[in-house]
Structure 1
């Protein structure tokens, strides 16, 4: 778990974790520095699938610098291994149906690396400018 803490609920802070409820709205409120403190990958992208958020954890784990990723289309230039019915199509369907998307799937990343088992959390909220793919690497 990370050190980012949200406002008090009673006498306790809520801790920011991969499975945190209402994650998309929480990420929308984070600064780039706060995103860099997370212990899982965060890739934010716009309606044209251009990456506009890319945190330090994901950069280090994937071996891709933010300068190489930011502004690039996620599903064609950055992560074409996610350009399929399991990931990209779910975002397209949610956008077309104007419904929220919050699904976690087991996945294997294969581009530019040997296969890596991950959990992907796919987040999209109608009316929000940014959609998210969260990447949690499985322990070795």
Structure 2
């Protein structure tokens, strides 16, 4: 089983089908390079209450998670390479939820990823 902080997580994600992402033990949002949701896994849906059917095809940072449309999160995807973990509080749609985020992409990756681990605690 892959772990949230695994240094090879981006490579693993790139080799999974959209359906296989549902098996990840943390939330996974697979986005196109311009931020449109390609896959919204079951774990992410359980955290946010947003269904995959609703999320797929929408722009993530304005239509699905505007609470992450800021300098701390969304603006970082402008970088060509991104692998960052940060503590965050999701506030859109659901009650404020403490999470650990991991933001991933590389110049060679087909997609970019927004990962959520709900197990983070203070």
TM range (shorter): over 0.9
Structure 1 stretches of 5 or more lacking a match? Answer: 1-14
Matches within 5 A, 1:38-77: 38-77=24-63
Q: TM-score, normalised by structure 1?
A: 0.81
Structure 2 contact 84–103 (Cα < 8 Å) conserved:
yes
**Aligned residue for 1:87?**
73
Structure 1 range deviating more: 100-109 or 29-38: 29-38
Change (3 A) 1:60 1:91: same
Structure 2 match to 1:106: 87
Deviation of 1:138 (Å) = 2.9
Equivalenced residue count is 121
Instruction: Report the equivalent of 1:6.
Output: none
Larger Rg: 1
1:35 aligns with 2:21: yes
- Shift of residue 139 of structure 1? 5.7
RMSD: 1.4
TM-score, normalisation: structure 2:
0.92
Deviation at 1:39, TM superposition (A): 1.4
Runs of 5+ unmatched residues, structure 2: none
